[in-house]
Amino acid sequence: MAEHLDPRTGLPVVAMVGGGQLARMTHQAAIALGQSLRVLSTGPDESAALVAADVRLGDHRDLDALLAAAEGATVVTFDHEHVPTEHLRALEAAGHRVAPGPEALVHAQDKLVLRRALAAAGEPQPAWAEVTSTEEVAAFAARHGWPVVLKAPRGGYDGRGVFVVDGPDDTLELFGRYDVLLAEQRVPMVRELSALVARSPFGQVAVWPVVETVQRDGINTEVLAPAPGLDEGTATAAQELAVRVADRVGVVGVLAVELFETPDGVLVNELAMRPHNSGHWTIEGARTSQFEQHLRAVLDYPLGSTAMTAPVAVMANVLGGAAAEEGWAGPGLDERVHHLMAHWPDVRLHWYGKGQRPGRKLGHVTALGDDLDTVRARAVAAARYLADGVIDPAFAFESEHREPEH
């Protein structure tokens, strides 16, 4: 089949399933490369649908909508992993190129499939078991101890579908909702890391520095690049592990290998086969962002340099806070953006255009520099101001320190 190109530009058309912020930032990268990004969005007000020129409305679970979005595209890729595996196979059977393909993507869709593949390859991971009853969880805990981490095999993200149970009684309600769960040992974790790699169909790979992901209530709040204090041996081992996993499962595109750092080394937690929150810092902090690299990879272009543009990069998510609550009487969003730019002129803002509600990922900020503590303080303060409308006193202007006149 001849490769489909946009007749207006002579360059590829990339169809991305999902209209969230990952598609929005991929669209920004596509603009610079001259590529056309088509977005399959569930509604016209989704993050990417607000900015992309070619938006097809439809559900990722609807095969007809997927086929229509893929028609005339050079390649089909994703901003989430929730497309049914059988639909991905149907797209391939219809002659469409899908990247990553269904045999790879299932390792990010189904945690039990991932655990079996890692076990077959002898890769490091927590002790685990497939469980279907309270008795099986208790037997697992007898071998590995309480508490036990239980996970829904499919569909969980940002802490959803993950349950820490302290005893058999805590599992009763879960088995009323799930037929099968993944049980994992709760490992003695030092911190969470992420190793980001891109792989092309040709087999070229590129890896970014390993980063630390700071979690709160199961949601990533900050990313520190490179991971502070990580010794060279462990960093290299994590990168090599990510490359081996990418090769083994045959991923095409960006792969985030989420890791637990333990006193004895690193263990694989989960995979994401798409641009990932742990890689947003690469937009300003690396020569090639994860979004551009994903496009390069799925189109089998040569991959770009992953070298950092500064010694330290910190990304802080803007999660809906006080300013997203009903009845907020403080400065509006546009006013807060004005103040952010005045107080932190070096911090780069990425706002996703999503409806505001408490706890929702609304955007992120990135700061670069030489000293981790300084850079981190600036990024966190800027993100907090957007979320809560509160200026950290360390960054307040002199006029903001004055007592109000009576």
Number of domains in the chain: 3
Give the structural domain span for 174. 127-185
Instruction: Give me 52's structure tokens.
Output: 């992309």
| Domain assignment of residue 243, yes or no | yes
Task: Consult the annotation and say whether 125 binds a ligand.
Answer: no
Q: Judge if 350 and 313 occupy the same domain.
A: yes
Task: Consult the annotation and say whether 270 binds a ligand.
Answer: yes
| Domain assignment of residue 275, yes or no | yes
| Domain assignment of residue 327, yes or no | yes
pLDDT in tens, 7-61: 999 999 999 999 999 999 999 999 999 999 999 999 999 999 999 999 999 999 9
Q: Judge if 343 and 375 occupy the same domain.
A: yes
One-letter amino acid at 173 equals E
Residue with tokens 């742990």: 278
Enumerate the β-bridge partners of residue 154.
Answer: 110
Instruction: Give me 406's structure tokens.
Output: 């009576």
CA dist 289 to 177, 206, 278, Å? 40, 11, 12
Q: Judge if 241 and 384 occupy the same domain.
A: yes
C-alpha closest to that of 28 among 380, 385, 353? 353
Contact assessment for residue 25 and residue 33, using Cβ atoms and an 8 Å cutoff: no
C-alpha closest to that of 50 among 41, 58, 59? 41
Contact assessment for residue 20 and residue 41, using Cβ atoms and an 8 Å cutoff: no
Q: Judge if 173 and 291 occupy the same domain.
A: no
| Domain assignment of residue 306, yes or no | yes
pLDDT in tens, 193-246: 999 999 999 999 999 999 999 999 889 999 999 999 999 999 999 999 999 999
pLDDT in tens, 147-156: 999 999 997 6
The model's pTM is 0.95
pLDDT at 14: 98
- For every residue of 189-230, DSSP letters joined together read -SEEEEEEEEE-TT--EEEPPPEEEEEETTEEEEEEESPTT-
| Domain assignment of residue 400, yes or no | no
| Domain assignment of residue 107, yes or no | no
Q: What is the average pLDDT across 162-191?
A: 95
Q: Judge if 248 and 359 occupy the same domain.
A: yes
pLDDT at 398: 73
Task: Consult the annotation and say whether 317 binds a ligand.
Answer: no
User: Which CATH number do you get for residue 90?
Assistant: 3.40.50.20
| Domain assignment of residue 331, yes or no | yes
What SS3 class is residue 74?
coil
User: Which CATH number do you get for residue 153?
Assistant: 3.30.1490.20
Q: Which residues of 302-329 are buried (b: 16+ CB within 10 A; e: fewer)?
A: ebbebebeeebbbbbbbbbbebbeeeee
pLDDT at 399: 73
Q: Judge if 319 and 195 occupy the same domain.
A: yes
pLDDT band, very low/low/confident/very high, at 1 (cuts 50, 70, 90): very low
Task: Consult the annotation and say whether 192 binds a ligand.
Answer: yes
Of 142, 157, 185, the position where a domain reaches its end is 185
Task: Consult the annotation and say whether 184 binds a ligand.
Answer: yes
Distance CA 243, CA 259 (A): 13
Contact assessment for residue 16 and residue 38, using Cβ atoms and an 8 Å cutoff: yes
Q: Which residues of 124-145 are buried (b: 16+ CB within 10 A; e: fewer)?
A: ebbebbebeebebbeebbeebe
pLDDT in tens, 318-337: 999 999 999 999 999 999 99
pLDDT at 356: 93
Distance CA 61, CA 82 (A): 8
Residue with tokens 């790879």: 104
Q: What are phi and psi of 195, to 5 degrees?
A: -115, 115
Q: Judge if 234 and 265 occupy the same domain.
A: yes
Q: Judge if 202 and 322 occupy the same domain.
A: yes
How many CB atoms are closer than 10 A to CB 236? Answer: 13
Q: What is the average pLDDT across 105-125?
A: 97
Distance CA 271, CA 267 (A): 12
Q: Judge if 238 and 345 occupy the same domain.
A: yes
Of 185, 216, 232, the position where a domain reaches its end is 185
| Domain assignment of residue 103, yes or no | no
Q: Judge if 224 and 344 occupy the same domain.
A: yes
Q: Judge if 350 and 266 occupy the same domain.
A: yes
Of 185, 201, 223, the position where a domain reaches its end is 185
User: Which CATH number do you get for residue 370?
Assistant: 3.30.470.20
Q: Judge if 75 and 211 occupy the same domain.
A: no
C-alpha closest to that of 64 among 90, 35, 89? 90
Task: Consult the annotation and say whether 151 binds a ligand.
Answer: yes
Task: Consult the annotation and say whether 187 binds a ligand.
Answer: yes
